Amino acid sequence: MNFFNIINQLAEVDPDVMGRLDTRRSVFNSLTTLGKRTALAAGPALLASFFTKAYAGTTAGDPKEVFNYALSLELLEADFYKKMVASQYFSGQSAAYQGAINQILKNENAHVALLQAVVSGIGGTPVTGNAFSTTVFNGLGSFAAQLEVAQLLEDTGVRAYKGRAGDLLGIADVTIGGTAYNPLETALRIHSVEARHAAHIRTMRGQTPWITGSGDKDSQPNYAGAIPESNTTQSGVSLIAANAITPNTTYSAADAAASFDEILTPTEVGALVTPLKQ
């Protein structure tokens, strides 16, 4: 286990990870003593301690379950892009398209590594497997068809992360070096990267970067749910009617619906992704 490689992976998905412990210089300097080098040999135990201090907390729920839920999605996405890069259609794409998919795959692998370490570090057992169905993937007869599935996966992932964000609100802040941090930040940082993936994939497909309701895939079940993407009410306020907040302005239903991504529940996500699993 290379501890410094893990730190670098974490930095890709959580730019503030070093700040959770100390400055980069002081963290690395603190590992130069013989005692720290000896401790470093313990590898997994040190990593578990690291995450317990940086990310764990007390909650009425179970953060291990929430992070494993996220990990299961990341494993599915990472395997999908791995299959995409290895497919017969990939080599014929432009350098820009290849670079974009390779970067997304790199991000997904980093997300997997981070979430596996987080789950282990707070005393859980990371989920495993969750590969994308080879049968389903082989049925995608072109790079364009693969991008369609990528869009559905990414948009679903964004809604799934948003759906569980509230479950992390109960995790207590962790104070490190006199500064308080919240584990929710980690999930939301990954969520933001997933949103950028979704926007880029949609752009590659000639769609708007956001969900409008009029895209070529926007009628799929991935955009439905108890709170569908066509929703025009936020926090009990209609966005298409004049009200105390915007007394002189009204918005079209299309504009209101496009302004927010809606949540998906674990049950709804399960119904969407289970048919795609190996």
For 116-123, what is the mean pLDDT? 78
For 58-80, what is the mean pLDDT? 83
DSSP symbol at 264 = -
Measured at the alpha carbon of residue 269, what is the angle toward residues 111 and 208, in degrees to the nearest 5?
Answer: 75
Which of the pair, 95 or 253, is modelled with greater confidence? 95
Average pLDDT score over the chain: 78
Residue 98: predicted pLDDT: 97
CA dihedral sign of residues 240, 272, 189, 174: positive
Which of the pair, 124 or 23, is modelled with greater confidence? 124
pLDDT, tens digit (0-9, with 9 covering 90-100), for 74-100 = 999 999 999 999 999 999 999 999 999
pLDDT at 49 exceeding the cut of 60: no
In the three-class reduction of DSSP (H, G, I as helix; E, B as strand; rest coil), residue 163 is classed as helix
Residue 183: predicted pLDDT: 67
Model confidence at 191, pLDDT cuts 50, 70, 90, reads confident
Whole-number Å distance between alpha carbons of 273 and 101:
20
Model confidence at 118, pLDDT cuts 50, 70, 90, reads confident
Can you name the CATH fold of 3-211+267-276?
Ferritin (1.20.1260)
Of the chain, the percentage scoring pLDDT greater than 90 comes to 45
